[in-house]
Amino acid sequence: MATLDHQVFEQIQQRLDEETARKDEIRQIVRDLDRTARIQIAYLNRIHADPTGPVPTVDFEPLRELLQTLDKLVPETQYYKYCDLWRGTLQQILFLVAFSTYLKHERVPTIAEFQDALELKVDIQNELLGLHIPYEDVLQSFISVANELSRLAVNSVTSGDYDRPRRISSFVKDLMAGFQLLNLKNDNLRKRFDSLKYDLKRIEEVVYDVSLRGLTRQ
């Protein structure tokens, strides 16, 4: 009579334990990443309190170090097995890069600038292994910048900068035109793109109100 070989179950349990331990390690790094990113975003958001003042300088080094640690934990061929654990946090970090770039140069970052800031490759062709930046998340960061700019337009007027909302409006229109060139397959990304219309509407209302009051430069 054949007996059940419990060694198979022992081997499976060992793999399950290893998997649990790896996920716990990843979650801890992601918590550290999330906390670090939130601190930097809060620091950058000081621009809303003083839109005409200097742009706060973001320190990306702690984020780079944590991302490198995360990269070492993720098996090269298993990115999509674990990516849901850090996707939201990575999108926050990309927003940090994108918004700080806009505040300095009034444009979004290039692919090279994203890569240099975080020392991660952007995956345009969906072919990279290991930890990387999906192109969809780059697009998400652009939309997040537009969301933030609708708030900055209002705060700029409150601070007496009546020309900035017009420049913001021009930028968001250009951003929308760029998105309209894309055939978006990602449902979440497509829904967020729709929010650009509402952001632009809010910004244009600010521009209209400023123009109506005769506060813009002629």
In this predicted model, what pLDDT tens digit does every residue of 47-102 receive, in sequence order?
A: 999 999 999 999 999 999 999 999 999 988 889 899 999 999 999 999 999 999 99
H or E element that contains 39: helix 7-44
> How far is residue 145's CA from residue 99's CA, in Å, rounded to a whole number?
6
> Mean pLDDT score of the chain, rounded to an integer?
91
Structure tokens at 141: 């960061």
Fold of 23-212: Methane Monooxygenase Hydroxylase; Chain G, domain 1 (1.20.58)
Instruction: Say yes or no to pLDDT of 18 above 90.
Output: no
Residues 6+ apart with CB under 8 A from 47: 53, 55, 56, 103, 152
Tell me, what's the pLDDT at 216?
67
Amino acid at 172: V
The CA-based dihedral angle spanning residues 32, 35, 55, 205, taken in that order and rounded to the nearest 10 degrees: 130
Domain boundaries, the chain: 23-212
Tell me, what's the pLDDT at 68?
96
Average pLDDT of span 181-203: 87
Amino acid at 141: S
Instruction: Say yes or no to pLDDT of 156 above 90.
Output: yes
